Structure 1
Amino acid sequence: MEVIAIQKSALDGMKNELKALLELTENATQKYTSIFNEEQWLDNQEVCLMMNITKRTLQTYKDKGLLPYSRLNRKNYYKLSDVQALLEVGQPYNTAENGFTDE
């Protein structure tokens, strides 16, 4: 067994930093929990599977503003209600009105 000795002031400093980190984590969790509890959110893969589209098509929908999304920690999330609304009106690819054509 290895024993490491450190000064009490260093140990107290580490405790304080850990407490601050825990508080930041709890605050962030509380901040985003209410957002995620209000509605079900889907990631890219779930949306692609649900809509039966490719990631590239999903990117096009985002670029054209057809599907709103939120970004959290470099990952995109979509409200289930927004995806369902887009599915109800029909997938908007290959229509002249929104710029999607086979030509």
Structure 2
Amino acid sequence: MKELITSKDPRIERFHTQADDIMAKCRDLRENYHPLLNGKRFITDAQLAATLGVSRRTTQDYRDKGYIPYYRIDGKILYAEDDIEKFLQSNYCPRFA
């Protein structure tokens, strides 16, 4: 006699949980994926501020002082991720040097 599998079966519940996890990861990728452009990835001013934990005004100060190179396209500010990495590396201060 064949077994009847219902939606309450632990295997089905596990399947639904895994499917939900996969969908959440897909949504995260869709929202946060930035395709490469000539080998570079770019982030917006708001993304940089959120990543660094500073205000957008602070990122404007960084631009004005020439700390971080940027691109202005029709009023939108973009930063190359490798430029941000260089900026962070040049300002790295090891605590126990």
TM-score range, shorter chain: 0.5 to 0.7
Alignment partner, residue 50 of structure 1: 51
Could you say what the CA RMSD is over the residues aligned between the two structures, in angstroms? 1.9
**Alpha-carbon distance in structure 1 between the residues aligned to 2:49 and 2:76:** 15
Provide Cα deviations, 1:63-97, integer angstroms capped at 9, x if missing partner. Answer: 00011101112101000011111112227xxxxxx
TM-score, normalised on structure 2?
Answer: 0.52
Q: Which has the higher helix share?
A: 1
**Alpha-carbon distance in structure 2 between the residues aligned to 1:36 and 1:74:** 20
Gaps of 5+ in 1: 1-34, 92-103
**Alpha-carbon distance in structure 2 between the residues aligned to 1:60 and 1:74:** 16
Alignment partner, residue 38 of structure 1: 39
TM-score, normalised on structure 1?
Answer: 0.50
CA contact (8 A) 1:48 1:54 kept: yes
Count how many residue pairs are aligned between Structure 1 and Structure 2.
57
Gaps of 5+ in 2: 1-35, 93-97
